[in-house]
């Protein structure tokens, strides 16, 4: 998932900013990271998580991931208020969270969901105003959403 890769890269910027000892650099790196993280988590909750939550077997796992989203937001707020001691915990929590999604939920979703489900995931995600208005629910957008669920692998179109 490209956004996850970008987030990992931004955590490197946050580490370097913290190590520079420059609070303004930390604030700038955090805002850059959060400008991607916040819409990303919101879109996950609005799209994929909403559809997956309908399945009883995913309910608890999705709730846990949503709680982690809230925790990440709270830690970002602490850093924003000047508590740079939280940065290591924040980055570790973010990496752990993305690993759970990349290697747990997303592959499981690719197995669980079918074509119409993915169309709904895309439609719900694209109806999120924080994602901008450039996306469409075209077949290629649906294929992209399906492929994004399994990083590094393409998912065949339903027949
Ligand atoms: Fe997430």
The count of other CB atoms within 10 Å of the CB of residue 34 is 19
Residue 150: predicted pLDDT = 45
Locate all alpha helices (DSSP H) within the chain, ordered by sequence: 2-20, 23-46, 48-52, 56-80, 87-100, 106-112, 115-126, 139-148
153 — pLDDT class (breaks 50, 70, 90): very low
Q: What does the mean pLDDT of the chain come to?
A: 85
Cα(53) to ligand 1 centroid in Å equals: 14
Residue ranges per domain, the chain?
2-148
Cα(67) to ligand 1 centroid in Å equals: 10
Is the distance from CB of 139 to CB of 77 less than 8 angstroms? no
Cα(16) to ligand 1 centroid in Å equals: 24
Q: What is the mean pLDDT of residues 86-92?
A: 96
* Residues near ligand 1 ion, CB 5 Å cutoff: 44
Look at residue 78 and tell me whether its pLDDT is greater than 70. yes
pLDDT in tens, 98-129: 999 999 999 999 999 999 999 999 999 888 77
pLDDT in tens, 10-62: 999 999 999 999 999 999 999 999 999 999 999 999 999 999 999 999 999 99
Cα(15) to ligand 1 centroid in Å equals: 21
Residue 137: predicted pLDDT = 47
């Amino acid at each position: 998932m490209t956004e996850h890769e970008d987030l990992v890269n931004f955590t490197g910027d946050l580490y370097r900013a913290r190590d520079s000892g420059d609070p303004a650099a930390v604030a700038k790196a955090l805002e850059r990271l959060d400008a991607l993280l916040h819409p990303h988590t919101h879109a996950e909750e609005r799209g994929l998580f909403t559809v997956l939550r309908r399945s009883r077997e995913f309910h608890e796992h999705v709730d846990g991931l949503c709680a982690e989203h809230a925790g990440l937001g709270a830690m970002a707020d602490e850093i924003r208020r000047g508590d740079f001691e939280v940065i290591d915990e924040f980055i570790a929590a973010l990496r752990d969270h993305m690993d759970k999604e990349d290697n747990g939920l997303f592959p499981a979703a690719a197995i669980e969901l079918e074509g119409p489900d993915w169309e709904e995931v895309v439609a719900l995600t694209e109806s999120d105003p924080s994602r901008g208005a450039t996306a469409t629910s075209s077949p290629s957008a649906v294929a992209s959403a399906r492929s994004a669920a399994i990083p590094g692998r393409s998912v065949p179109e339903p027949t």
